[in-house]
Amino acid sequence: MGTTNIPGIFGSLVFNEEVMHEKLPKEIYDALNKCIEDNKPLTFEIAQSVASCMKSWAVEKGATHYTHWFQPMTGITAEKHDSFITPVGEGKIIMDFSGKELIQSEPDASSFPSGGLRATFEARGYTAWDPTSYAFIKDRTLCIPSIFCSYGGQVLDKKTPLLRSLQALNKQSLRVLNCLGNETGATHVDAFVGGEQEYFLIDRDLYNKREDLRLCGRTLFGARPPKGQEMEDHYFGTIKPRVKAFMDDLDVELWKLGIYAKTEHNEAAPAQHELAPIYALANTATDQNQLTMEIMKTVAIRHNLACLIHEKPFAGINGSGKHNNWSVSTNTGVNLFDPGKAPAENTQFLLFLSAVIKGVDEYQDLLRVSAASPSNDHRLGGNEAPPAIVSLYLGDELGAVVDAIENDEKFEAAEKKVMKSGVKVIPRFDKDTSDRNRTSPFAFTGNKFEFRMVGSSASLSTPNVVLNTMLAEELSQFADRLENCDDVEIESWNIISETLKEHGRIVFNGNNYSDEWVEEAKRRGLVNLKTTADAVPAYLDEKNIELFAKHKIYTREELESRYEITLETYCKSMHIEAVTMLDMVKKDITPAVCKYMGVLANTINSKHQVSKNLPCKLESDLLEKLSNNADKLDEASKKLADDIVKADKISDVTELSCYYRDTILEDMETLRTYADILESNTASVYWPYPTYTDLLNSVV
Task: Summarize as ranges the residues that interact with ligand ADP (CB under 6 A).
Answer: 192-194, 196, 276-279, 325-327, 335, 445, 447-448
**Inter-CA distances, 150 with 75, 109, 132, 695, Å:** 17, 7, 21, 44
Q: Which amino acid is at 642?
A: D
CB 469 within 8 A of CB 559: no
State in angstroms the smallest separation of the CB of 691 from Mg ion: 32
State in angstroms the smallest separation of the CB of 323 from Mg ion: 4
Residue 694 touches which member of ligand ADP, Mg ion, none, C-beta under 5-8 Å by kind:
none
Q: Which is nearer to Mg ion, 323 or 672 (CB)?
A: 323
Other beta carbons less than 10 A from residue 592's beta carbon: 19
Q: Which residue is nearest to ligand ADP (CB)?
A: 194
The 3-class secondary structure across 79-94, one letter per residue, is CCCEECEEECCCCCEE
**Inter-CA distances, 555 with 16, 464, 551, Å:** 33, 18, 10
**Inter-CA distances, 263 with 251, 260, 315, 442, 694, Å:** 10, 9, 27, 21, 28
Please choose, from the candidates 360, 329, 341, 352, the residue with its C-alpha nearest in 3D space to the C-alpha of residue 482: 352
Near Mg ion in 318-337, by CB under 5 A: 323
**CA–CA separation, 295 vs 277, rounded Å?**
14
Q: Which is nearer to ligand ADP, 114 or 197 (CB)?
A: 197
Cα-Cα-Cα-Cα dihedral sign, residues 108, 110, 113, 114: positive
Q: Which is nearer to Mg ion, 210 or 323 (CB)?
A: 323
The CB-side HSE value for 634 (13 A sphere, CA atoms) comes to 10
Q: Which is nearer to ligand ADP, 325 or 544 (CB)?
A: 325
State in angstroms the smallest separation of the CB of 193 from Mg ion: 12
Q: Which is nearer to ligand ADP, 447 or 670 (CB)?
A: 447
CB 318 within 8 A of CB 379: no
Please choose, from the candidates 194, 223, 95, 268, the residue with its C-alpha nearest in 3D space to the C-alpha of residue 672: 223
Q: Which is nearer to ligand ADP, 54 or 259 (CB)?
A: 259
Please choose, from the candidates 516, 495, 515, 520, the residue with its C-alpha nearest in 3D space to the C-alpha of residue 505: 520
Residue 164 touches which member of ligand ADP, Mg ion, none, C-beta under 5-8 Å by kind:
none
State in angstroms the smallest separation of the CB of 196 from Mg ion: 5
Q: Which is nearer to Mg ion, 322 or 378 (CB)?
A: 322
Alpha helices by DSSP H, listed for 303-439, are: 347-362, 364-370, 374-377, 396-406
State in angstroms the smallest separation of the CB of 278 from ligand ADP: 5
CB 343 within 8 A of CB 398: yes
Q: Which residue is nearest to Mg ion (CB)?
A: 323
What is the SS3 assignment for 141? strand
State in angstroms the smallest separation of the CB of 265 from Mg ion: 11
Interstrand relation of 125-129 and 261-266 (parallel, antiparallel or unpaired): unpaired
Buried b (16+ CB within 10 A) or exposed e, 409-431: eebeeeeeeeeeeeeeeeeeeee
CB 640 within 8 A of CB 582: yes
Q: Which is nearer to ligand ADP, 177 or 306 (CB)?
A: 177
Which range in 146-154, 317-325, 375-383, 488-496 contacts Mg ion by CB under 5 A? 317-325
Residue 42 touches which member of Mg ion, ligand ADP, none, C-beta under 5-8 Å by kind:
none
Q: Which is nearer to ligand ADP, 219 or 289 (CB)?
A: 289
Close Cβ partners of 513 (under 8 Å, ≥ 6 residues apart) = 383, 384, 387, 439
Q: Which amino acid is at 688?
A: P
What is the SS3 assignment for 263? strand
**CA–CA separation, 380 vs 165, rounded Å?**
26
Residue 279 touches which member of Mg ion, ligand ADP, none, C-beta under 5-8 Å by kind:
ligand ADP
Q: Which is nearer to ligand ADP, 166 or 193 (CB)?
A: 193
State in angstroms the smallest separation of the CB of 432 from ligand ADP: 11
Greatest CA span in the chain, whole angstroms?
A: 104
Q: Which is nearer to Mg ion, 323 or 378 (CB)?
A: 323
Residue 194 touches which member of Mg ion, ligand ADP, none, C-beta under 5-8 Å by kind:
ligand ADP
Q: Which is nearer to ligand ADP, 1 or 604 (CB)?
A: 1
Residue 367 touches which member of ligand ADP, Mg ion, none, C-beta under 5-8 Å by kind:
none
State in angstroms the smallest separation of the CB of 196 from ligand ADP: 5
How many residues bind Mg ion (CB under 5 A)? The answer is 1
State in angstroms the smallest separation of the CB of 6 from ligand ADP: 15
State in angstroms the smallest separation of the CB of 276 from Mg ion: 7
State in angstroms the smallest separation of the CB of 177 from ligand ADP: 18
Q: Which amino acid is at 457?
A: S
State in angstroms the smallest separation of the CB of 194 from Mg ion: 8
Residues in the site for Mg ion, rule: CB under 5 A?
323
